[in-house]
């Protein structure tokens, strides 16, 4: 969902600060992050660089702390990590995540709370995943508080003029965020009209903006490029051994970062040579073959894995020995892609999801049917998989990674 929007560093800092203030971050926290952002700005000025990018933030951290393979390792590094992560969140998605835990208690104003919670219960009964429910609650919380801010006291007062004001308010966000917000609010308003909570069907006044993952061509790497990334991992240390196993899971089995970091020992069936898991993104059950190459890499890591009672397989190398975050895996993958010296054009993704895209593209070029690719990647539907059809066929013909059998639990 990268916007590819170009921000100057000062613009991004100002927008991120404003977003954090709106989300209720404390003044002390914002001031702490501002110190880090000022150091980033000084680094940018020193290097005659005024445009923000994730890669540039990575370079700044590397200049400050050196090797980032197991970053962050200290409290200071964690502070830098959080501060730059806020910038990166706004740069990538157009908003900053809540300071509360992921499954936060969303607060809706009086006059809106009952109807919103009724709508959420309806969507839950329709089988919407927990992650999508959280996204809907975020959009509805933002919308309901905006309504109160402009003087509305109850849902029945909402009119077309208020909707236009809200559209003007959210235009500052990314295309994806605006589109998803509109879709969420439109469905909510239609629900209110059907229930008689509002007098007219103003959902029809919302513009229909078509934007989906199909609007973006996936970032895929060739077989040679994937091999170059894997080969540059130094497996002489516990950190390298762990990172190699994680990147194999992304490039050979197409697992998402969240599922790699959340992989538990219970997911691995050594006797049947398979991995069974419920994906964090789609809540969908998936079963994948445990390829010899992947299994051997995991076993090699388990020999050097820190002693811990954690059920997750992959842990930090330095204490506290807790599971890695998806963002940490992103930085790790980005670093190895940089070390591999492969060409990464501007706008091309350089995280673990790009390795997932690479596998799917290779399977597509190998004439693997979309439903099978969907099963291997544990997509919620084959419609999600169709996005890979847009990748240039000539590019795909340069790839020839072996594809695991979709009909066997073994390699």
Tens of pLDDT, residue by residue over 135-175, are: 899 899 989 988 988 889 999 999 888 888 888 777 656 66
Q: How many CB atoms lie within 10 A of CB 5?
A: 13
Q: Is 338 one of the annotated active-site residues of the chain?
A: no
Question: pLDDT tens digits, residue range 249-294?
Answer: 998 888 888 899 999 999 999 999 889 988 877 777 888 888 899 9
Is pLDDT at 6 greater than 80 in this prediction?
no
Q: Is-catalytic flag, 31?
A: no
Respond yes or no: is residue 379 known to be catalytic.
yes
Residue 339 has pLDDT above 50, yes or no: yes
Which pLDDT score, from 0 to 100, does residue 385 have?
Answer: 45
Task: Encode burial over 276-297: b for 16+ CB neighbours within 10 A, e otherwise.
Answer: ebebbebeeebebbbbeebbeb
- Give residue 264's pLDDT: 95
Catalytic residue at 162?
A: no
Describe the crossing of helices 75-93 and 9-22 by its angle, rounded to 10 degrees: 100
Among 335, 306, 336, which Cα is nearest to 323's? Answer: 306
Question: Out of 17, 142, 256, 316, which one is annotated catalytic?
Answer: 256
pTM: 0.51
Total number of domains in the chain: 3
Q: Which of 281, 284, 348, 386 is catalytic?
A: 281
CATH of the domain at 24: 1.10.150
Asked whether residue 108 is domain-assigned, the answer is: no
Domain-located, residue 386: yes
Longest CA–CA span in the chain (Å) reads 69
If asked whether residues 258 and 371 sit together in one domain, one would say yes
Catalytic residue among 142, 350, 353, 357: 353
What pLDDT score does 36 carry?
A: 94
Residues 6+ apart with CB under 8 A from 314: 242, 245, 246, 260, 261, 263, 301, 323, 324
Which residues constitute the domain of residue 284? 223-396
Residue 273 shares a structural domain with residue 325:
yes
256 is catalytic: yes
């Amino acid at each position: 969902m990268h916007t590819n929007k170009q921000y100057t560093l000062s613009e991004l800092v100002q927008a991120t600060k404003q977003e954090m203030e709106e989300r209720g971050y404390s003044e002390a926290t914002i001031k702490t992050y501002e110190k880090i952002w000022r150091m980033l700005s000084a680094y940018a000025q020193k290097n005659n660089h005024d445009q923000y990018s994730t890669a540039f933030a990575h370079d700044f951290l590397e200049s400050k702390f050196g090797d980032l393979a197991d970053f962050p390792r200290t409290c200071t590094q964690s502070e830098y990590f959080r501060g730059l992560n806020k910038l990166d969140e706004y740069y990538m998605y157009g908003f900053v995540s809540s300071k509360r835990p992921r499954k936060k208690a969303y607060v809706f104003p009086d006059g809106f709370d009952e109807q919103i919670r009724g709508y959420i219960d309806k969507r839950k009964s329709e089988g919407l995943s927990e992650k999508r429910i959280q996204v809907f609650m975020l959009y509805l919380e933002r919308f309901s508080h905006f309504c109160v801010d402009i003087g509305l006291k109850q849902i029945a007062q909402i009119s077309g003029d208020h909707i236009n004001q809200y559209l003007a308010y959210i235009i500052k966000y990314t295309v994806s965020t605006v589109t998803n917000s509109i879709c969420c609010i439109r469905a909510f308003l239609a629900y209110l009209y059907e229930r008689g909570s509002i007098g007219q069907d103003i959902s029809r006044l919302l513009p229909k903006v078509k934007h989906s993952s199909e609007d973006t061509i996936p970032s895929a790497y060739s077989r040679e490029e994937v091999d170059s990334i894997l080969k540059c991992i130094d497996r002489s240390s516990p950190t390298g051994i762990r990172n190699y196993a994680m990147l194999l899971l992304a490039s050979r089995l197409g697992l998402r970062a969240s599922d790699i970091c959340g992989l538990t020992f219970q997911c691995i069936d050594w006797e049947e040579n398979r991995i069974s898991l419920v994906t964090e993104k789609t809540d969908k059950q998936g079963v994948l073959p445990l390829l010899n190459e992947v299994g051997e890499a995991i076993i090699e890591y388990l020999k050097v894995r820190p002693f811990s009672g954690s059920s997750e397989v992959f842990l930090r190398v330095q204490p506290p020995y807790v599971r890695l975050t998806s963002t940490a895996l992103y930085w790790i993958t980005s670093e190895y892609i940089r070390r591999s010296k492969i060409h990464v054009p501007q706008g091309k993704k350089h995280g673990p999801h790009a390795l997932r895209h690479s596998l799917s593209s290779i399977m597509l070029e190998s004439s693997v049917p979309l439903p099978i690719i969907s099963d291997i990647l544990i997509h919620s539907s084959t419609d999600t998989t169709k996005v890979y059809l847009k990748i240039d066929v000539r590019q795909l013909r340069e790839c020839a990674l072996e594809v695991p059998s979709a009909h066997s639990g073994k390699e």
